[in-house]
Amino acid sequence: MTTNNRDITISWLFVWARHKKTLSIHQMRLILRILEFCQDEIKGIKYKDNLRQLEYQKDDVVLRMPYTDVYFSDFSLKTIRDDLKDLRERTIEFYDYTNKIWSACGIIEKPHVHERTGMMEVKIDLQFWQQLLNLTHGIRRCELNKALNLPTVYSMWFYIFISEKNEPMDITIEHLKEKLGISADDYKRKNGKDRIDHLEERVIQPAQKALDESCPYSFKYEKIRENPRSQKSPVKLLRFIPIYQPQFRDESLEKKALVAKTSVSLINQQAVDYMIQTMGFELKEVQSNKELLEEATKRLPNILEDLRDIQNRRRLKGKEKGWIINALKGKIQDAKKEHDTPKTIITNNGYIADMFDANR
């Protein structure tokens, strides 16, 4: 592993991305590296070495990194070229519901592999980059190195899906296949019914085993049948139950999280995590604004959504962290006014992005 471990925040849209065929493990690792660049961009971290570089161009963001960031061992240059070509050919579609505009681009554009230097370069369409930076649709957080080291694309997806969750999650067989890039016709009997046993043996159980052996979050699962009293009744849902495995949690990251919890106990913990992990605040900066955040917790029932809105506006305006505090004060003042004068507020979600194959 060529980079330090960290908790990485991932947009819910990425977790639920649809693909017509399964991504390779290296393609998933590359997407995680792209998300790592996004996290640093959100926090204002600049790359000081010559190995990893981020550069804005007119309509694209150019990312440069050693291909050993993605390909750890047992790879060929042909594998790299094939993965990048396939990823370039996969399409993301966008729809602006406000202005009724549809548009599309590749997941990556214009990939380059520099064989002499061991570097690779990809371009990310600016519209897609902005969606990756947008965490207002909900987030998942996991340890970056744990995800990168998982052996299969399925185990990586399950880890991102289950990480930091504590409530059971239900998903249909059809939906699960769709998210994993498995064809709807795979794992079927001749009569068209699902072969749940094959899906379990070849996809779910190997992923579960990989998480059991190395990740702070794993899962157990149950088959929810149409008729719970009959074992022959068709399975309508799979219920995934998160399991926390503290022995695999990175101690340094856990200590940081524990310090935050004990130091700001009267503040919404998710808000603290978001400010540190996504907004780029240091713990001491959160503590110095403790009274303000305590009031925000009391006044703003959806404080995490408010912080996401502030972060999104901050990023678009190019503002510093100090602007966030003033924006939060404004949210509190608005909440006080609304308490005295009830209003009906209509919100607009703006851009909603989804990822799937162009031929879908």
Give the list of residues 6+ apart from residue 69 with CB closer than 8 angstroms, or none: 2, 3, 29, 33, 52
Least confidently predicted of 8-12, 202-206, 214-218, 314-318? 8-12
In this structure, what DSSP letter does residue 22 have? P
Q: How far is CA 347 from CA 53, 138, 314, 350, 359, in A?
A: 37, 16, 18, 9, 33
The answer to whether the CB of 129 falls within 8 A of the CB of 108 is: no
Q: Three-class SS of residue 51?
A: coil
CATH architecture of 153-248: Orthogonal Bundle (1.10)
Q: Name the more confident of 20 and 115.
A: 115
Domain 7-147 has CATH 1.10.101.10: no
Dihedral of the alpha carbons of 330, 336, 341, 343, in degrees to the nearest 10: 50
Question: Does 351 have pLDDT greater than 80?
Answer: no
Q: Cα–Cα distance between 343 and 73 in angstroms, integer?
A: 59
Q: Name the more confident of 241 and 134.
A: 241
Report the DSSP pairing between strands 169-171 and 235-244.
antiparallel
Backbone angles phi, psi at 298, to 5 degrees: -75, -40
Write the pLDDT tens digit of every residue in 184-194. 889 998 888 88
- Under the banding of pLDDT at 50, 70 and 90, the label for residue 348 is very low
Q: Which pLDDT score, from 0 to 100, does residue 359 have?
A: 35
Of 289, 295, 294, 332, the C-alpha closest to 310 is 332
Q: Do domains 7-147 and 153-248 have the same CATH topology?
A: yes
What number is the average pLDDT over the span 82-91? Answer: 94
Question: Does 255 have pLDDT greater than 90?
Answer: no
Q: Which pLDDT score, from 0 to 100, does residue 238 have?
A: 95
The answer to whether the CB of 4 falls within 8 A of the CB of 129 is: no
Q: Which pLDDT score, from 0 to 100, does residue 143 have?
A: 93
- Under the banding of pLDDT at 50, 70 and 90, the label for residue 136 is low
- Under the banding of pLDDT at 50, 70 and 90, the label for residue 269 is confident
Write the pLDDT tens digit of every residue in 221-246. 999 999 988 888 889 999 999 999 99
Residue given tokens 């031929």 in the structure block: 359
Q: Which pLDDT score, from 0 to 100, does residue 273 have?
A: 78
Least confidently predicted of 149-158, 331-340, 350-359? 350-359
The answer to whether the CB of 328 falls within 8 A of the CB of 306 is: yes
Q: Cα–Cα distance between 9 and 188 in angstroms, integer?
A: 35
At residue 132's C-alpha, the angle toward residues 287 and 326, to 5°, is 35
Question: Does 30 have pLDDT greater than 60?
Answer: yes
Q: Provide the percentage of residues in the chain whose pLDDT is more than 90.
A: 42
How would you class 175 by CB atoms within 10 Å of its CB: exposed for 0-12, middle for 13-18, buried for 19 or more? middle
The answer to whether the CB of 61 falls within 8 A of the CB of 124 is: yes
- Under the banding of pLDDT at 50, 70 and 90, the label for residue 353 is very low
User: Domain spans of the chain?
Assistant: 7-147, 153-248, 256-335
Total residues found in the chain within this entry: 360
How confident is the prediction for the chain on average, in pLDDT? 84
Retrieve residue 264's tokens.
């700001």
Give the list of residues 6+ apart from residue 342 with CB closer than 8 angstroms, or none: none
Q: Which pLDDT score, from 0 to 100, does residue 260 have?
A: 55
